[in-house]
Structure 1
């Protein structure tokens, strides 16, 4: 197959320096996924576009499916550190709500890449399978914190239940945010936690108030 047979050109664009960091490789990979589709881009093509070897790619990412997650281990460590600093007087669910909101706050210039990243993770079959492992790490941090507060092992039923509930609230917010460019992800997550901690209240008027709080700006579209 010649280069004319396929729209993908693996060479680096003129002037692009060789990628030498985790973030640079991630940015190049996400750009290629956006242009050609996740399934149509190989590790070799990402490495060539970045001007590095496959060995260098695998030094930063064990598999192609790890790339959209970025440095997730570092992010999970950040979540753990954030929770470790929460004063004891802050109620459990309030602490989790604030920590998960902050965990999902990204700089304005990174919002669209974050949206593309979550869109891939939650729709591509290979990445959905990978998410079982990645999200488990996230849930464990939540469960550990809940266990400390409840005086129970983090691996016991109630802490694990809280971890599952927190993850479900976050993922529901992600799914709502991805197509709605006029909405704010931290606001959606905050709203999800607020609704989750008072589910009975949704039947008595709070549902419509919460929905108004996350409505897109006038004139925007999903």
Structure 2
């Protein structure tokens, strides 16, 4: 494990050959929700050409760091809080745990919703550990606030996930607006095809995070199963 590993943002810029970050987060409590399987997901992602990984939980960050000491790791912690809708790295203690586990970048929910710790306090804690801060945003205003608080990276991660029906496609309009205003924008959220991911880079995304389409086997299988049901029994040969 390399909890004191420090990368500058310039060094990370140089590591982004294609700009693909793979989120190795299996379906909760599913058959692939296992520490060693997450490490295998991480190995496979890097072998396939990914530039970095997004890993949930300090314990799993530590395991991936031990197995892949040179990997670029974005670390998060997910929590279900009774008094706040914020789930992604909501506490300063989560930041500390991820930093000690070896994350290079720590991502936090940067939405302007009721929360246990202010966005600025979380970003300050990330920087206190000499790590880089990523803000998971739902709108342009979230990104502007987080960037003003010192976040080196802002992402479209939470667009469509803070109320109402979740869209099927990525939020390209938000991505374009953010790219025009901030130096490093992570395209994230429903980037489920190579074509959409390539489009994000064409629009100027610093990098693209892909998760479900690569590491959530149950959900991808469901996409295929539901599509095939449309042409099920009625189209079977007599």
TM-score, with length taken from structure 2: 0.25
TM-score, with length taken from structure 1: 0.26
Structure with higher helix content: 1
Structure with higher strand content: 2
Larger Rg: 1
